[in-house]
Amino acid sequence: MQAFAGHLGDLELASVSFACTVLAGFNYGLMLGLASALETLCGQAYGAKKHHMMGVYMQRSWIVLFLCAVLLTPMHFFAEDVLLLTGQPPELSAMAGEVSVWFLPLHFSPGLLFPLQRFLQCQMKNLVNAIAAAAALCLHLFVSWLFVSKLRFGLVGVALTLGFSWWAITAMLFAYVTCGGCPETWHGFTVEAFAGLGEFVRLSAASGVMLCLENWYYRILILLTGNLKNAAVAVDALSICMNINGWEMMIPLAFFAGTGVRVANELGAGNGKGARFAAIVSSTTSMAIGLFFWVLIMGLHDKIALIFTTSAVLLAAVDKLSLLLAFTILLNSIQPVLSGVAVGSGWQSTVAYINIGSYYIIGIPMGVLLGWLFNLGVPGIWRGHDRRNRRPDDHPGRRNHPL
């Protein structure tokens, strides 16, 4: 989506980055966190062979996430005011506020989609998720070309395309589950879903805090970048790197989901050694894949931004961030797997405290300090992010960045 927006112009890319990466991203992070409670509950229920409860848990998750989506809806209407309050440039805030309204169709889809995905993952039906995602991706590419390149709907077309794609995958998974794809675990809608909502909300809240603290941290980096000089270029460069990191992050997140489910299944069956073995295998494999992408980014450091833009200024800016991007990808290859172990074990509240310390007590203050006090710009903000989970690495030869 942002690749199409980047070819509309630098300001358009920055606006979509704010509307999607920051505003919609805050909502996405909260929904994702709340839905992750299903990985614990459904995973352990499946391991304990209490299959009938899985459908009930999923319906409870739908209720909680729908109510959450309703409460978050006003953010899309007051996006411009929110961005102005955080110090973003007026022209950027105005365009981002305008396009954020068109993200409303997308806004309600995660509340249905995320529980469906986790419901299927806990039954080892990952192929169903993969096929639906592949079909939705093909639709997304076609509709993006049609709305943005052919019909020239601009940023509105970009936003509507994303909503269309998310609802497409949601509809496919919903049809699969409710039309006989899961006969053991889906027995239809039931009022039992409204019972025990308090306990479910408590676990969902712990899961939500755990993942939101991490997910929102990246959105805050974008907001901080919007306060730098030459904000459009700074935001574009960082959002391009974050998108590349996000694409690669899908692999560790897959290990996050797989590890969480496997650990929950084994613990539900009373097999602690099996859970430990799954954690070790997932961590090792994910780290090896992260090392491969580290080498790839280092080799293509001056070309990776061509997917998003042909602007020489942006290409140079992303090139100067490529070293930090490579190390971020490497370090983030292990952290999601460990979070998956925590989710499968029901330790969400403990991880939430760790995330508070790592991201908000260390990461953001260090980023502000390096970005403004030491005048390092985007690399300084990003180094604060990296210092939350690795030893200091000065790289003195790379300190004088124009960003």
DSSP 15-48: HHIIIIIIIIHHHHHHHHHHHTHHHHHHHHHHHT
Category of 395 on φ-ψ map: left (φ > 0), alpha (ψ -120 to 50) or beta: left
Q: Which two tokens stand for residue 387?
A: 């210092």
| Residue whose C-alpha is closest to residue 96's, from 232, 200, 213 | 232
Q: Output 232 or 37, whichever has higher pLDDT.
A: 37
Each residue's pLDDT tens digit, 286-306: 999 999 999 999 988 888 888
pLDDT at 180 over 80: yes
d(CA 23, CA 329): 23
Number of domains within the chain = 1
Q: Confidence band (pLDDT; 50, 70, 90) for 363? A: confident
Q: CA of 370: how far to CAs of 374, 379, 402, in Å?
A: 5, 8, 14
pTM of the model: 0.71
Q: Is residue 95 part of a domain?
A: yes
pLDDT on residue 55: 95
Q: Is residue 104 part of a domain?
A: yes
Q: Is residue 327 part of a domain?
A: yes
pLDDT on residue 14: 58
pLDDT at 219 over 70: no
Q: Confidence band (pLDDT; 50, 70, 90) for 238? A: confident
Category of 309 on φ-ψ map: left (φ > 0), alpha (ψ -120 to 50) or beta: beta
The amino acid at residue 140 is H
Q: Which two tokens stand for residue 212?
A: 């939101």
Q: CA of 239: how far to CAs of 54, 174, 273, 296, 382, in Å?
A: 38, 32, 41, 19, 12
Q: Under 8 Å CB-to-CB from 233, ≥6 apart: which residues? A: 10, 313, 314, 317, 403
Q: Is residue 309 part of a domain?
A: yes
Q: Is residue 361 part of a domain?
A: yes
Residue 363 belongs to domain spanning: 2-398
pLDDT on residue 26: 66
Q: Please state, as a whole number, how many other Cβ atoms lie within 10 Å of the Cβ of residue 399.
A: 14
CB 160, CB 140: distance < 8 Å: no
Q: Output 123 or 387, whichever has higher pLDDT.
A: 123
The mean per-residue pLDDT over the stretch 200-212 comes to 76
d(CA 41, CA 57): 7
Q: Is residue 45 part of a domain?
A: yes
| H or E segment to which residue 3 belongs | helix 2-6
Q: Is residue 403 part of a domain?
A: no
End-to-end CA distance of the chain: 25
d(CA 265, CA 260): 9
pLDDT on residue 228: 63
Q: Under 8 Å CB-to-CB from 270, ≥6 apart: which residues? A: none
d(CA 340, CA 335): 9
pLDDT on residue 314: 82
Each residue's pLDDT tens digit, 68-125: 889 888 888 887 887 788 777 787 778 777 878 888 888 899 999 999 999 999 998 9
pLDDT on residue 196: 80
Q: Output 217 or 50, whichever has higher pLDDT.
A: 50
d(CA 37, CA 50): 17
Q: Is residue 119 part of a domain?
A: yes
pLDDT at 1 over 60: no
pLDDT at 399 over 60: no
